[in-house]
Structure 1
Amino acid sequence: MDYGLNSIIKTKKKHPCGNDEWEIIRMGADIKIKCTKCNRIIMLSRRNFNKRLKQVVK
């Protein structure tokens, strides 16, 4: 899948707030994503990120 900085993505599992859309705010060996509903930020390794990625929205 093609994604980059500031892309909106959907994950396979929902966040505890009930949202499954995230914005990519940092890319490198690790990827930092921010929940679009509650603004919680998490950091994942690229390998874990690719496992959890469902689709690229925008």
Structure 2
Amino acid sequence: MIFKLGIISFIAGTIFIFGSDRLYKKGKITTVNMLLSSKLIGLGLTILATILMIFGK
């Protein structure tokens, strides 16, 4: 169960990281500060997902 939660968190974090680039190019994210904060959220999710997948196996 924890491993599946890690996989879902990893996918969500990846979408956050690469989705923020697309939103920045479209103009929905206007400042670089907002871009970096959204990328940090995605990075945190992927790190959490990695920890969950390691301990959930």
The TM-score, its normalising length taken from structure 1, stands at 0.23
Larger proportion of strand: 1
Higher helix share: 2
Structure with bigger RCO (C-alpha 8 Å, 6+ apart): 2
Which is greater in Rg? 2
